[in-house]
Amino acid sequence: MEGPHPDEITWRPHEDSSAIGWHLGHQAHVAHFMVRNLTAAEPSPDPELDGLMDSANREKFRGALPTVERLGAFRDTVAERVHARMNDIAGGRVAAPDQLTVVARHLLVALINHEYQHDQWIGEVRANDLGHALPTDPDTDQVSRLDGYLVLNPLA
């Protein structure tokens, strides 16, 4: 699937709906807070975005998005940090590496499933309202649909 165009990032299907960019920022926001304390209590890469990207905010209050560049930088920084944390754990460069390996596996599956949840919404909105094709499902036995959403099950 081709990623959203810059003008689609801030577009909202209606006033009581989140923009595609909010979903992209929220994915990174959740990833940061789920992983940040695994090896180091890192501050947010962009504290001003923390409140905006929190799902506690009702949809109609999610319209004031950062620029596409700032949103992209936020997502890139969080992705780099998540990869660094997971690599530190996998490489045994943490206290209690065996315990953190178990925790990290579960968190990583939760993060992937959270990404799938929001990607589903983005894909449906882009298909229904903007004329794009729905993305194809991953070709693996470890990903299936549950209640209409893609779900990673690494034990499948």
Distance between CA 71 and CA 25 in Å, rounded? Answer: 6
Alpha helices (runs of H) in 1-156, residue ranges in sequence order: 6-9, 20-35, 47-52, 68-90, 97-130
Of the chain, the percentage scoring pLDDT greater than 90 comes to 71
**Contact in structure between 22 and 62 (CB atoms under 8 Å):** yes
Distance between CA 101 and CA 127 in Å, rounded? Answer: 38
To 5 degrees, how large is the angle CA 58–CA 131–CA 152?
Answer: 60
- Among 33-37, 137-141, 150-154, the minimum mean pLDDT is found in 33-37
- What is the enclosing helix (H) or strand (E) of 71? helix 68-90
**Contact in structure between 20 and 126 (CB atoms under 8 Å):** yes
> What residues have CB less than 8 Å from 69, skipping those under 6 apart?
none
Whether pTM > 0.85 for this model: the answer is yes
Neighbours of 100 (CB within 10 A): 20
- Among 23-27, 37-41, 120-124, 131-135, the minimum mean pLDDT is found in 37-41
Helix (H, G, I), strand (E, B) or coil at 151: strand
35 pLDDT more than 50? yes
pLDDT in tens, 68-114: 999 999 999 999 999 999 999 999 999 999 999 999 999 999 999 99
Q: What is the mean pLDDT of the chain?
A: 91
- What is the enclosing helix (H) or strand (E) of 143? strand 143-146
